[in-house]
Amino acid sequence: MGLSISFLNIILMMSLLFPDLNVVVESATTEYTTLIYKGCARQQFSDPSGLYSQALSAMFGSLVSQSTKTRFYKTTTGTSTTTITGLFQCRGDLSNHDCYNCVSRLPVLSDKLCGKTIASRVQLSGCYLLYEVAGFSQISGMEMLFKTCGKSNIAGTGFEERRDTAFGVMQNGVVSGHGFYATTYESVYVLGQCEGDVGDTDCSGCIKNALEKAQVECGSSISGQIYLHKCFIAYSYYPNGVPRRSSSSSSSSSSSSSGSSNSDPSSSTG
């Protein structure tokens, strides 16, 4: 496998290379550090001089450092022959403190789960990290990387109509929220987020694509998560009402974080 292979091919091969890709493989102490999935290139660094390892270590250090200040950061390290591009993103409702706590786990997890591979993506429930060596071709932002649907179904109760209305509210909200939105509509909690460098128009298209995939892939499942290359969505239905969220999840210092517990979709406010 050479450096010209696309990252898409890596993701598509994960189900064969890593049987545990489609399950949560590690529990966590807080709701935002649960491991959702990993994607690891099969090829390891050819690094007799240690230059790739040095560049990777420098990139990890830069990403972790920036996570105390921002929820999204992208950087490139190394030389012309050892260039590595990496980024992290935290969920839009995490505080800077929680973002740092989440991101600071990712370098260790990446090394533990993937080793010194030429590309890696590790997704936790509250943040993710991605890096790749120069030479990988870009894939569509709409490419689905991972999905999970709740085992319980709730067909025939009007659930799908409420869910779809909540989806519409969230799709509009993620544009006005410039990349992140979370709200509740009639006991359906929905959340959507786009990668930090995606514009509002492309974000709306990505979220729309993810929502359509959720409708098809998860059907009447009581909950679901769809992760595309450039965005993700999650939803959960709570028949007895959405429980109060913890302080770490409800805190937000960004104007791009929005939410509402109102049942009227037109009344959702930031």
What's the rounded Cα separation, in Å, for the pair 174 and 207? 8
Burial (CB < 10 A; 0-12, 13-18, 19+), residue 215, is: middle
Residue predicted with more confidence, 123 or 253 = 123
What's the rounded Cα separation, in Å, for the pair 69 and 90? 11
Rounded to an integer, the average pLDDT of 221-226 is 94
- pLDDT category at 1 given cuts 50, 70, 90 is very low
Q: What is the pLDDT of residue 251?
A: 35
Identify the CA nearest to 257 among candidates 204, 185, 192: 192
What's the rounded Cα separation, in Å, for the pair 121 and 44? 14
Burial (CB < 10 A; 0-12, 13-18, 19+), residue 120, is: buried
Give whole-number Cα distances, 256 to 99, 127, 159, 193, 245, in Å.
15, 16, 28, 10, 18
Residue predicted with more confidence, 268 or 32 = 32
Residue predicted with more confidence, 65 or 118 = 65
- pLDDT category at 4 given cuts 50, 70, 90 is very low
- Lowest pLDDT segment from 17-31, 101-115, 136-150, 157-171: 17-31
SS (H, E, C) 194-254: ECCCCCHHHHHHHHHHHHHHHHHHHCCECEEEEEECCEEEEEEECCCCCCCCCHHHHCCCC
Using alpha carbons only, give the angle 73, 198, 128 rounded to the nearest 5 degrees: 45
Is 110:116 a contact under the CB 8 Å cutoff? Answer: no
Tell me the sheet residues that pair with 82: none
Identify the residue whose tokens are 């550090």: 33
- pLDDT category at 207 given cuts 50, 70, 90 is very high
Tell me the sheet residues that pair with 131: 86, 120
Residue 193 exposure: Cα atoms within 13 Å on the Cβ side: 23
- Lowest pLDDT segment from 38-47, 86-95, 105-114: 38-47
Residue predicted with more confidence, 123 or 257 = 123
Q: What is the pLDDT of residue 71?
A: 96
Rounded to an integer, the average pLDDT of 245-265 is 36
Kindly tell me if the per-residue pLDDT of 241 is higher than 90: no
Whole-model pTM? 0.77
Which tens digits make up the pLDDT trace of 52-75? 889 999 999 999 999 999 999 999
Rounded to an integer, the average pLDDT of 239-268 is 44
Q: What is the pLDDT of residue 30?
A: 54
